[in-house]
Structure 1
Amino acid sequence: MHVNFSENLLLDIEAETDLNTRLTRLLALIRKHLDMDVAFISEFKDSKRIFKLVDTKRPNEIVKVGNFDPINETYCNKLANNELDNIIPDISKNSITRDMPVTKKLNIGAYIGVPITLSNGDIYGTFCCYNEQKDDTLNKRDLAFLNLISDLASQLIDTQIQDNEAKQLIKSNVLNIINTNNIEIYYQPIYSLNTNKVSGYESLSRFFVEPYRTPNIWFDEAAQFGLGEALEMLAINNVLGNMSHFNKEVYVSINTSPEHILSGAVANALAAISDCSNIVLEVTEHSPIANYNEMLTALAPLRKKGIRLAIDDVGAGYSSFQHILELQADIIKLDISLTRNINSDRRKYLLAKALCGFAKDIGCNIIAEGIETLEEINTLRKLSVDKVQGYYLGRPQALCDALVHQKSVLS
């Protein structure tokens, strides 16, 4: 007797975002609809038939995810090779299956199954159900329904395989960057509005590989595979290796993640440098910090060596204000969303004015980012902003170009 099902179940399954959850629900749907004891999705791999997903009416110690049999001893293999019918109501009456050792091992009485074929034509495995007793009610309509569900499963598995391949390619590309040190460091000048000269540079990672992707994507992808620290430390070490080329009066800022400060990775990278007074660590307002006390403890030995701390992207969100208060920042960097057109937007002007007043009262320097016009600079001068950076003043440059312009004057 077959169990009725609602078409809404299929819609619910389609709404699931996790592929394994969708496949598992499809498996449960077909088993319950056909009123079978066991349903499974198998994969053919390394001459084995492996149970990838399983749904059973009762606990089954043999048919469990990860268990396998030699592929040439299974119904699945014979089904894929067209040596076995899709429906066998009574295993004991089938000349092929009745004498197969797997029949007794799995206690199969009735069977229905179809191959899972991928979009490239390869056989992935099978979508199968069986009862421990014979089942004369199995019919072509059941097979049509199983084929429908199997087609849906095939599409999901195909998507999963393609996603896994894409992820492996991403991981391989990140590892290749790390293993070959294929990061170039560019430097964007930061001008002092008091001296009108270059007072520092923000170091920025660049990845000139095909297909081109922005640095934030590279670092995000590295983090997904547990390679975030390795990639970031590689970039930091490249910056530190160039420090001797800059004049002593010029500082270099380094973008870093709070988690790598907390782990001690940043301290290890700076271990050989006793005087870090010309180094600024930039922490973005977007970086979450769960425990500020732990962060302050991790920063303490770095501050003793002269390192200053900057909070980046201030004005882009609310987290920056807590960062400033809790971390006792030395520098506040106003985000481009606040500084762009500040000369003509009174609301931005008033917010920047309040931030600048707050910064001065707590002893912080102010750097305005994203400057693109002279009018913005003149407005920022009125607000007593200390330093400015942006495309109007200079784009990120390779080391050799940055060194040529480190004595340039703001016109």
Structure 2
Amino acid sequence: MSLTAGWAADVLQPAGEATASRDLVAKSLTAVRVHLGMEVAFVGRFQDGRRHFAFVDSDPGFVPIRAGESDEIEATYCARVVDGRLPELIPDAGALRDTGDLPVMPFPVGAQLSVPLRRLDGTAFGTLCCFSRTPDDRLRRRDLNLLRLVADVIEPHVRFLISREESADLASSRVVGVLSSGGPQIALQPIVDLRTDRVAGFEALARFPDDVGWTPDQWFAEAHGVRYGVTLESAAVAAALRTIDRLPEDAMLAVNVSAEALCADEAIAAMVADGPAARVVVELTEHQRVPRSDLLDARLAALREAGARIAVDDAGSGYAGLEHILHLRPEVLKLDRVLVQGVAHHAGRRAMCEAMVQFTRSTGVLLVAEGVETEPNLEVLRALGVDLAQGFLLGRPTVW
């Protein structure tokens, strides 16, 4: 059996639902082809005037088509079945040749069963087909009904996979558009020293076109989903570093990058090292647990050797746990905004912040509170001894 899927892992990132849908469609094709005694079963998708073979299952002795190939819709049996020019059940294609309705195929078709696959609005987006090289007079209406039943089962899964593919294509197009225009814009948010009330530095935050409706986190997540994530992160770091010459000479610049990107693209660490690295804080931003990695350790060591400092984001929650912090040994810790917001009125949050203050004092690490938006929270953080703070109360991100 030759079995391939047009929506492969290099198009759609691995995900439980998508994998289950692909497996169900593939197994359904095998089952119905074998049961009907046909040589080939496939799911064809109509797009841009062509029929694309999305899933193909075939007998090993006859592999006329493969997933990912396509042909012109009008030159297919499928188009004629959908518009009614040919019947869905064809036990002997030769018997129809005198009608002039049969297309010329690059491979022999002796018998075929074909049923439409439809969108929710009822329009056909493709077909489920089985065919063999030789006629088969055993085929009956019950066989066609079985194929229709299988189509009913796989139809929502194929629609789901198409939706994922279209979303991936759209995400790719948007990300490539940003990259081709020079990368994201950079907004700088001030970081204030709570002992002196002076601006000690800025965090560089990537900003993207407003018309899409994605947050910056969504932009990076979508980019990683279509394998442009590291490229987009690298572009954002480069854009951030270009702003440093516009800052006061004693101001630090916090630049965000994921551990994945830092490991995947050595140019990111090189960009930092080749500039005024002593003014740069490389802030590791993670939305999943970072596995211990000799490569990551080596990248961080090279950054430190160049003079840069390392920060861990979201300390006190999520994946920035104690083991993670102790292993990375950052020079800067950023308190998660969940702890900061409401700290003035929540004893538990206040106790957690106080514990982080004690920890950073004992280890010589700078502590930054993120998401400071009210005066009461600011005063509590100041009283607890938090070193630095940022948030809307102290300054909104601004594109320079």
**Alignment-derived partner of residue 181 in structure 1:** 182
SS in 1 for 2:311: strand
**Alignment-derived partner of residue 39 in structure 1:** 41
The aligned amino acid for 2:130 is: C
Q: Deviations over 1:115-140 (max 9, x none)?
A: 4466584663552345856334x333
**Alignment-derived partner of residue 364 in structure 1:** 365
CA distance in 2, matches of 1:73, 1:179: 38
The aligned amino acid for 1:30 is: V
CA gap 1:269/1:348 in 2 versus in 1, 3 angstroms? same
CA gap 1:366/1:293 in 2 versus in 1, 3 angstroms? same
Contact 1:233-1:269 within 8 A present in 2 as well: no
Task: Tell me whether 230-239 or 15-24 shows the greater mean CA deviation.
Answer: 15-24
SS in 1 for 2:281: strand
Counterpart mapping for 1:228-307 below 5 A: 228-262=229-263, 263-273=265-275, 275-284=276-285, 286=287, 288-307=289-308
Structure 2: state its 5+ residue gaps.
1-16
CA gap 1:197/1:156 in 2 versus in 1, 3 angstroms? same
Q: TM-score, normalised by structure 2?
A: 0.81
Q: CA deviation at 1:332?
A: 1.0
Contact 1:285-1:317 within 8 A present in 2 as well: no
Task: Tell me whether 282-291 or 174-183 shows the greater mean CA deviation.
Answer: 282-291
The aligned amino acid for 2:205 is: L
Contact 1:315-1:334 within 8 A present in 2 as well: yes
Q: CA deviation at 1:154?
A: 5.1
How many positions carry a matched residue from both structures? Answer: 380
Contact 2:43-2:126 within 8 A present in 1 as well: no
Q: Deviations over 1:124-178 (max 9, x none)?
A: 3552345856334x33343344334435555544444343233212211111111
Q: CA deviation at 1:396?
A: 1.4
SS in 2 for 1:361: helix
Contact 1:54-1:63 within 8 A present in 2 as well: no
The aligned amino acid for 1:185 is: I
Q: TM-score, normalised by structure 1?
A: 0.79
The aligned amino acid for 1:377 is: L
SS in 1 for 2:196: coil
The aligned amino acid for 2:330 is: A
Instruction: Determine which of 18, 27, 30 is the counterpart of 2:29.
Output: 27
SS in 2 for 1:358: helix
Q: CA deviation at 1:316?
A: 1.5
The aligned amino acid for 2:41 is: A
CA gap 1:133/1:385 in 2 versus in 1, 3 angstroms? same
CA gap 1:218/1:35 in 2 versus in 1, 3 angstroms? same
CA distance in 2, matches of 1:285, 1:122: 42
**Alignment-derived partner of residue 127 in structure 1:** 129
SS in 2 for 1:113: strand
Counterpart mapping for 1:42-121 below 5 A: 42=44, 51-56=53-58, 58-66=59-67, 75-76=77-78, 79-80=81-82, 82-90=84-92, 94-96=95-97, 106=108, 108=110, 110-116=111-117, 121=123
CA gap 1:177/1:139 in 2 versus in 1, 3 angstroms? same
CA gap 1:195/1:63 in 2 versus in 1, 3 angstroms? same
**Alignment-derived partner of residue 326 in structure 2:** 325
Task: Tell me whether 303-312 or 68-77 shows the greater mean CA deviation.
Answer: 68-77
The aligned amino acid for 1:165 is: E
Task: Tell me whether 167-176 or 280-289 shows the greater mean CA deviation.
Answer: 280-289
Q: Deviations over 1:242-279 (max 9, x none)?
A: 21121122111111111232231222323532x42211
Q: CA deviation at 1:41?
A: 3.0
Contact 2:200-2:250 within 8 A present in 1 as well: yes
Q: CA deviation at 1:63?
A: 4.2
Q: CA deviation at 1:344?
A: 2.2
Q: CA deviation at 1:104?
A: 12
The aligned amino acid for 2:389 is: V
Contact 1:292-1:327 within 8 A present in 2 as well: no
CA gap 1:360/1:147 in 2 versus in 1, 3 angstroms? same
CA gap 1:248/1:74 in 2 versus in 1, 3 angstroms? closer
CA distance in 1, matches of 2:253, 2:132: 68
The aligned amino acid for 1:341 is: G
**Alignment-derived partner of residue 206 in structure 1:** 207
CA gap 1:299/1:164 in 2 versus in 1, 3 angstroms? same
The aligned amino acid for 2:89 is: I
Contact 2:343-2:349 within 8 A present in 1 as well: yes
Task: Tell me whether 162-171 or 30-39 shows the greater mean CA deviation.
Answer: 30-39
CA distance in 2, matches of 1:104, 1:224: 37
CA distance in 1, matches of 2:72, 2:398: 60
SS in 1 for 2:212: coil
Q: CA deviation at 1:47?
A: 8.7
CA distance in 1, matches of 2:195, 2:313: 21
CA gap 1:169/1:134 in 2 versus in 1, 3 angstroms? closer
CA distance in 2, matches of 1:50, 1:104: 15
- Let me know the Cα RMSD of the aligned residues: 3.5
Contact 2:191-2:200 within 8 A present in 1 as well: yes
Task: Tell me whether 252-261 or 372-381 shows the greater mean CA deviation.
Answer: 372-381
Structure 1: state its 5+ residue gaps.
1-14, 400-411
Contact 2:41-2:57 within 8 A present in 1 as well: yes
Confirm whether residue 393 of structure 1 aligns to residue 397 of structure 2: no
Q: CA deviation at 1:52?
A: 4.0
CA distance in 2, matches of 1:371, 1:81: 63
CA distance in 1, matches of 2:47, 2:170: 21
**Alignment-derived partner of residue 5 in structure 2:** none
**Rg larger in structure:** 1
